[in-house]
Chain A
Amino acid sequence: MNPPRTMSQSLPNGMSQSMDGGTMMQRLGRPGRPVVVNQPERPLLARVADSIYWLGRYMERAEHVARLLVINSHLLMDAGELTPALVARQWRDLLQVVHLSPEVPGEGDFEARVTHYMVLDPDNPNSLISCITRARENARAIRSDISAEMWEAVNELYWSTRGPEVETLLRENPEGLYDSVVSASMRFQGITDQTLGHDQRWYFVGLGKYLERIDVTCRLLETRLAFLLEYDEQLERPIRNVHLMGALRMCCSIEAYRRQPNSQLELLPVAAFIVLERHHPRSVRFCVREARQAAQAMRQSTRGHTGAADETEKGLGRLEAQLEYADPKDILSAGMGSYIRKIRETADAAGAAVRKRYFLQ
């Protein structure tokens, strides 16, 4: 054990002898002013809450877009000879996951067009650079309300995806580009956790993040399920496995899944894992729980602990209970696709209720 460290040891030479406790206090604070900690929370502007929510959402969306792109290109390499129709289907599914219509502007090679559209097209609202630009615009509008580290992380990501170098990078080392976006988003989340007060602002950035993750994860599962069920007959076992592993990777869940005892690469257990796993931060259940907690904390911090749950909290709370006590069998009997779609719609309604309740109208 270390000896106790006294005040005098921590002061520069000569200071400890000349100072008693009283003068010491005067040096440390302004005389006559009480030192107050744990003051009531600073008011959070409705406009700021709006921006911080969207900052969380757009950063999360950028990360998903980047990950979908990188995993999808791996998947296509591993899936062997595919018919052009199947390759196109694979890309169209991807567009659907991020709310885009399958019509991609331009002519020529579909794959190259989709890639450009998804990464660099400023007219595509969910392209990588659009997400990053919007994340930055939101961050810039609330710079005084987020930590300098958060702002700099977003701003650096923004500048690193501008300019002609990015086109070159996308041609020569697309994976490097995607990976840098994924890790910038992860870094942003870590920075947010460790530099922003865990107060109202943190609830809003978290709510944006988790609602976005629920949305993308559900859409991904819906399209993958539909695809695998439709092509069940035509896909040979190894290729099916490639698709299943791809789905797990797109949800950042392959390692967590493999850690499960007796984990089998089968469609239903994989989907059930992504929806119902208790501790994995990428599972729908985990995200719903986090979102519900954020919504509850927000309500309590704005209206005190006695207030009734609002629409957001109720919706997410019911969904949480449903997932918490779900039996995988129920999911199967209800039809997996529609079960997941309902989760997504509930989360969507919760997001709409947040905007209505808290943001500048």
Chain B
Amino acid sequence: MFAPYEIPGIFDEMFETPGTPRPHYRDVYERLLALERDGLARRRRMADVSFRNQGITFTVYSESQNVERIFPFDLMPRIIPPQEWDVIERGLIQRITALNLFLEDAYGAQAILQEGLIPPRLVYGAKFFRREMIGLKVPHGIYVHICGTDLIRDADGRYLVLEDNGRSPSGVSYVLENRAVMKRVFPTLFARCRVRSVEEYPYNLLRTLRHAAPPGVDDPTVVVLTPGTFNSAYFEHSFLARQMGVELVEGRDLLVENSFVYMRTVAGLRRVDVIYRRIDDDFLDPLCFRPDSALGVAGLMNCYRTGHVTIVNAPGTGVADDKAIYPFVPDMIRFYLKQEPILDNVQTYICERPDDLAFVLDHLHELVVKSTNESGGYGMLMGHQASKAEREDFADKIRAHPRDFIAQPVVQLSQHPTQTDDGWRGRRVDLRPYILYGDEVRVMPGGLTRVALREGSLVVNSSQGGGSKDTWVLEAEEAAP
């Protein structure tokens, strides 16, 4: 089944050369090779039906109507050996620590700006910089409690950070559901491979949220705040609330009285201490941010500022994952932690800088240009694939608002064998591990491997035809006694 498999000058997760799997993939390779195409197709249908019946879907927004879809799932797991994972884990802990120190600094003393390491206008000009947060002390100094960092691999297999999602990273529910389905579909293979468990994530998330409670609250009431059933990630909001055993609330369930937050229950009002919000800053509080928001709670920010409730992640964390601030994360690590970055960034041109801008406009055909305030693969230009007209059109946009754009060389992404109608084919993948920052920093072993299902495509987002795979981090071999 691997006969016509090709590795076009990029890193392949499974194969050293076509036909020779890397050692940590050998079991899976042999087992899946032994399966007939029918057996595979049957297992895949099993997985699809299971996802649909459980309602594990996301909503695609389109002009005419919103469609509920299954997140396409690929049966071939992505495997990470323990020594590789160790580096990733240390790198991610280092990064979330630095990002939190940066946020505390950016909304506090601003030492890093005074040192001239980051141009202040990039911070103040960031779309998600929140003046309301200046001078505010947050519990334990933690702003980003939950982070989902996107990693990719270059042609040499080196892991690079593509972006830090420090606002409301989604996808973790798919990690847990993918794992549950894999265990059902390949029980024996799974048992043999010594895969590290991801199942304690909801428990750790709840610990993290409880740790964030306002000082003096010993037994906090935690809720998950969702925009509602029409949101594309509603399944995940409901999933996490269920797994943690806490209430899933909408804005209309909450109200503010005497600068405390309450939820409306059949037995009257109940106080709420920690809100894991899955709505954007803009919609949190119509009195403070967008007045037309019906999703949030009037007066919430005031309660937050009084310290009567904790909002997780904190408002204003978006300044740290702003695409124009991202290039400075290695500097943050050196400045705050006095360490060298363990995980590297992708080389990035900041269009705000005149030299970079000139370079970007000259080299559009070989760069990926991203809008600094869009996510989910919207508002980007793949220069090498775009037509001349598209490039010129985009160049105008960049010239008009240079602050809104950054550019990066086309990083090819590694590929992974993936089931297609023509058998196994290499498809590009990334990896989003999830990091929790509470009483300690915990990194879920693995994360969401997203795969671009279209041939040659580099865009892995679910809204743009991406699928996902289970990600297996293997147990370390126990040292001989």
Contacts and interface: CB of A to CB of B under 8 A. Distances in A.
B250 A155 contact: no
Is the contact region of chain B dominated by helix, strand, or loop, or is it mixed? mixed
Is the contact region of chain A dominated by helix, strand, or loop, or is it mixed? helix
Interface string A283-327: 000000000000000100111000000000000000000000000
B249 A301 contact: no
A303 B267 CA distance: 7
B99 to A, nearest CB: 30
Contacts of B248: 144-145
A261 interface: no
Interface string A31-66: 000000000001111110100000000000000000
A46 B264 contact: yes
A137 B267 contact: no
Nearest to B237: A144
Interface string A262-275: 00000000000000
A47 B247 CA distance: 11
A167 interface: no
A277 interface: no
Interface residues of A, number: 26
Nearest to B267: A302
Interface in A208-247: none
10 contacts: A43-B270, A45-B265, A47-B253, A47-B264, A140-B234, A143-B238, A143-B239, A144-B241, A144-B247, A155-B54
Interface string A337-360: 000000000000000000000101
A92 B241 CA distance: 46
A45 B253 CA distance: 7
B242 A47 contact: no
Contacts of B252: 47, 360
A43 B53 CA distance: 29
Nearest to A41: B267
A122 to B, nearest CB: 13
B270 A143 contact: no
A45 B54 CA distance: 23
A137 B267 CA distance: 24
A302 B266 CA distance: 7
A87 interface: no
A257 interface: no
Interface in B217-272: 228-229, 234, 238-239, 241-242, 247-250, 252-253, 263-268, 270
Contacts of B253: 45-47, 360
Interface in A6-53: 42-47, 49
B55 interface: yes
B52 interface: yes
A302 B241 CA distance: 23
Nearest to A301: B267
Contact of A49 (B228, B229, B234, B266): B266
A358 B267 CA distance: 8
Nearest to A46: B264
Contacts of A193: none
Contact of A47 (B238, B241, B250, B270): B250
Given A44-B265, A46-B265, A156 B247 contact: no
Contacts of A148: 54, 242
Contacts of A141: 228-229
B57 to A, nearest CB: 10
Given A46-B264, A49-B266, A156 B249 contact: no
B392 to A, nearest CB: 45
A45 B53 contact: no
A46 B229 contact: no
A43 B267 contact: yes
Interface of B: 52-55, 228-229, 234, 238-239, 241-242, 247-250, 252-253, 263-268, 270
Given A45-B249, A360-B252, A155 B55 contact: yes
A144 B249 CA distance: 10
A298 B252 CA distance: 23
Interface string A130-150: 000000010011011100100
B273 to A, nearest CB: 13
Contacts of B229: 137, 140-141
B263 A43 contact: yes
Nearest to A156: B53
Nearest to B244: A144
Contact of B52 (A137, A159, A301, A303): A159
A144 B264 contact: no
A152 B52 CA distance: 9
A49 B247 CA distance: 13
Contacts of A144: 238-239, 241-242, 247-248
A140 B55 contact: yes
A49 B266 CA distance: 7
Given A45-B247, A144-B241, A155 B266 contact: no
A44 B242 contact: no
Contacts of B53: 152, 155-156, 159
Contacts of A137: 229
Contacts of A47: 250, 252-253, 264
A360 B266 CA distance: 9
A141 B250 CA distance: 10
A200 interface: yes
Query: Which of A47, A137, A298, A360 gathers the greatest number of chain B CB atoms within 10 Å?
Result: A47
A156 B270 CA distance: 35
Given A155-B53, A302-B266, A358-B266, 11 more contacts: A43-B263, A43-B266, A44-B265, A44-B267, A45-B253, A46-B253, A47-B252, A148-B54, A152-B53, A159-B53, A360-B253
Contacts of B238: 140, 143-144
Query: Which of A137, A140, A143, A145 gathers the greatest number of chain B CB atoms within 10 Å?
Result: A143
Nearest to A203: B266
B55 A46 contact: no
A360 B234 CA distance: 21
A91 interface: no
A202 interface: no
B55 to A, nearest CB: 5
Contacts of A152: 53-55
Nearest to A304: B267
A162 B165 CA distance: 37
Contacts of B267: 43-44, 301-303
Contacts of A303: 267
A200 to B, nearest CB: 6
Contacts of B265: 43-46
A151 interface: yes
A16 to B, nearest CB: 24
Nearest to B241: A144
B249 A143 contact: no
Contact of B266 (A151, A156, A159, A200): A200
Contacts of A140: 55, 229, 234, 238
Query: Which of A42, A144, A148, A156 gathers the greatest number of chain B CB atoms within 10 Å?
Result: A144
Nearest to B221: A43
Interface in A102-138: 137
Contact of B242 (A43, A45, A143, A298): A143
A45 B52 contact: no
A207 to B, nearest CB: 12
A159 B253 CA distance: 30
A173 B252 CA distance: 45
A178 to B, nearest CB: 22
